[in-house]
């Protein structure tokens, strides 16, 4: 007992010393932790359960020279995502890997290098690049390098394959250091069990290192299993009960492309309620239980990440909502109106308004008509064919600066187009292909449901790229017209 107490005292002293050193080394890095909720992929058992996947976002914790050790981030780093999977396929049976946030979302270290199109070949290229640069010592056997279902691939460029939500609250430096010490001290060995020790249980354990009793399963709606959606829902409820948590929801929708669009994750009773797959067996074997299932889902199982994003897209929006509720309780009508207006503006800055999205759709229709008239495209349907042709016939490349390119032959010979926001309009990128690519990207975003649509902030950036590409095409037409007029007729 005395020895245990001494160990606790020593551990506390070590964390205190690390905290002092950390404040000196990286005082500007903010601390956040978040529950990551991923859409289900259309493969394996996920086709039936649609439960999705759960991980943990850490803004102040980064990989320490490998995906198996943790350290405090430097000021220039964005944080990381720590995940638990059933089958990483790596040389040893690890329980978890930690990946830089940008690698997790986009497959590259710099978020400004995010791909503008989600192509299968590009996803494969990013996975193999990550394996070569970060997993060389841990992924050398064929079951890892050649296995299409090895789960390490799911943590590289996740946005190309599915939509990601992150439910975030702030942390203290001491909490982050405690997590680092805990994970670096315990053997990284898998004990995965889909029923009792799955990815959602892992997320629950990590989050409760920071906030005990903040996460729990929904054993009624998930039939005794802890699900990713239940973890996100319970953590959201916990955060909203603590106004000082600076709660917010971040949304990273699936990047438009030729990879199949994913749907939202579901709880057990929700999947039974909505999915046609479950209806025949339920009617045959559980007809008496169906009323209970429907009642349980409708009364206690509803949770919409999309709605939570619309309500709490920033910490300021959450704070304004808490103030608005207090003003309502105090019956201060003038203050209520002021706070509501501020809150609505804050929300609209991130998610946009129906009127704003409608205006962009109207403007884009005119741009499509212009592009068709100028024979840049043959019509709106040709944009889908363009995306498929890029993936089918193109060769993706990743240069030394982690810029993505696709080389493809067109009518005038070989051409190259930049595939990310940094290089799509660079001098080395074919301007016509770049314009088609941006038209295809914007078209798919505007046709998407809110769940799969970019935030307004990200969309405005992409719209600016489209406008620059359009202006470039207009200037090129003027130049060609002048050159044609300058040629003497005989």
DSSP one-letter string for 4-46: HHHHHHHHHHHHHHHHHHHHHH-TT---EEEEEEEPPPSSTTH
Whether residues 393 and 308 share a domain: the answer is no
Rounded distance, CA 315 to CA 168, Å? 9
Whether residues 183 and 39 share a domain: the answer is yes
| 347 CB-near residues (< 8 Å, 6+ apart) | 310, 311, 313, 314, 317
Neighbouring CB atoms inside 10 A of 466's CB total 21
Per-residue pLDDT at 482 exceeds 90: no
Q: Predicted confidence band at 15 (pLDDT cuts at 50, 70, 90)?
A: very low
H-state helical runs in 211-302: 228-240, 268-274, 279-285, 290-296
Q: Are 37 and 54 in contact (CB under 8 A)?
A: yes
Rounded distance, CA 97 to CA 92, Å? 12
Residue 165 lies in a domain: yes
Whether residues 244 and 375 share a domain: the answer is no
Residue 459 lies in a domain: yes
For the ranges 24-33, 34-43, 365-374, which has the lowest average pLDDT?
Answer: 24-33
Describe the strand order of the beta sheet including 395-398 as a list of residue ranges. Answer: 395-398, 404-410, 413-418
How high is the pLDDT of residue 280?
59
Residue 10 lies in a domain: no
Q: Predicted confidence band at 458 (pLDDT cuts at 50, 70, 90)?
A: very high
How high is the pLDDT of residue 18?
46
Whether residues 98 and 209 share a domain: the answer is yes
Residue 342 lies in a domain: no
Q: Please say whether the dihedral angle defined by the alpha carbons of residues 283, 284, 288 and 293, taken in this order, is positive or negative.
A: negative
Residue 16 lies in a domain: no
Q: For residue 166, what are its two tokens?
A: 């992150």
Rounded distance, CA 214 to CA 340, Å? 29
The domain total for the chain is: 2
Whether residues 193 and 68 share a domain: the answer is yes
Whether residues 185 and 57 share a domain: the answer is yes
Residue 330 lies in a domain: no
- In tens, the pLDDT along 45-104 reads 666 677 899 999 999 999 999 999 999 999 999 999 999 999 999 999 999 999 999 999
Residue that the structure tokens 């964005």 belong to: 78
Q: Name the pTM for this structure.
A: 0.89
> Residue 389's domain spans which residues?
354-486
More reliable by pLDDT, 257 or 285? 257
Q: Predicted confidence band at 224 (pLDDT cuts at 50, 70, 90)?
A: confident
How high is the pLDDT of residue 366?
97
Rounded distance, CA 423 to CA 403, Å? 7
Mean pLDDT, residues 329-349: 96
Q: What does residue 240 show for φ and ψ, rounded to 5 degrees?
A: -70, -20
Residue 1 lies in a domain: no
- From 312, 338, 367, the end of a domain falls on 312
Residue 219 lies in a domain: yes
Percent of the chain topping pLDDT 70: 83
């Amino acid at each position: 007992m005395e020895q245990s107490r001494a160990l606790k005292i020593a551990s506390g002293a070590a964390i205190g010393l690390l905290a002092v050193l950390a404040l000196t080394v990286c005082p500007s890095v903010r601390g956040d932790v978040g529950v990551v909720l991923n859409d289900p992929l259309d493969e394996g058992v996920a086709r039936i359960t649609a439960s999705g996947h759960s991980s943990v976002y850490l803004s102040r914790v980064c990989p320490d020279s490998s995906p198996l050790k943790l350290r405090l981030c430097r000021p220039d780093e964005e944080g990381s995502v720590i995940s638990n999977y059933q089958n990483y396929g790596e040389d040893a049976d690890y329980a978890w890997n930690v990946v830089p946030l940008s690698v997790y979302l986009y497959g590259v270290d710099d978020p400004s290098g995010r791909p503008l199109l989600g192509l299968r070949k590009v996803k494969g290229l990013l996975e193999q690049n990550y394996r070569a640069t970060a997993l060389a010592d841990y992924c050398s056997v064929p079951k890892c390098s050649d296995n299409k279902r090895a789960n390490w691939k799911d943590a590289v460029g996740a946005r190309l394959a599915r939509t990601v939500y992150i439910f975030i609250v702030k942390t203290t430096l001491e909490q982050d250091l405690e997590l680092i010490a805990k994970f670096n001290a315990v053997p990284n060995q898998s004990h995965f069990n889909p029923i009792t020790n799955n990815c959602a249980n892992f997320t629950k354990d990590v989050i409760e290192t920071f906030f005990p009793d903040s996460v729990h399963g929904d054993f009624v709606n998930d039939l005794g299993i802890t699900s990713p959606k239940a973890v996100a829902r319970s953590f959201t409820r916990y955060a909203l009960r603590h106004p000082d948590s600076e709660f917010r929801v971040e949304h990273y929708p699936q990047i438009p492309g030729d990879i199949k669009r994913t749907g939202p994750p579901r709880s057990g009773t929700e999947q039974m309620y909505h999915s046609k797959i479950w209806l025949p067996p339920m009617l045959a074997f559980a007809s008496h239980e169906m009323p209970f299932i429907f009642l349980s889902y409708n009364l206690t199982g509803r949770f919409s990440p999309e709605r939570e994003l619309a309500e709490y897209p920033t910490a300021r929006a959450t704070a304004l909502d808490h103030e608005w509720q207090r003003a309502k309780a105090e019956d201060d009508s003038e203050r209520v109106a002021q706070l509501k207006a501020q809150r609505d503006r804050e929300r609209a800055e991130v998610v946009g308004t129906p009127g704003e999205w409608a205006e962009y759709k109207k403007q884009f229709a005119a741009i499509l008509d212009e592009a068709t008239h100028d024979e840049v495209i043959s019509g709106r349907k040709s944009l889908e064919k363009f995306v498929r042709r890029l993936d089918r016939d193109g060769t993706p490349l990743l240069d030394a600066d982690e810029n993505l390119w696709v080389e493809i032959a067109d009518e005038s010979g070989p051409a190259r187009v930049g595939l990310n926001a940094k290089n799509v309009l660079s001098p080395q990128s074919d301007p016509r292909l770049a314009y088609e690519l941006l038209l295809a990207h914007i078209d798919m975003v505007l046709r998407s449901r809110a769940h799969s649509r970019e935030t307004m902030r990200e969309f405005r950036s992409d719209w600016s790229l489209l406008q620059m590409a359009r202006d470039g095409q207009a200037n090129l037409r003027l130049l060609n017209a002048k050159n044609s007029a300058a040629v003497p007729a005989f």
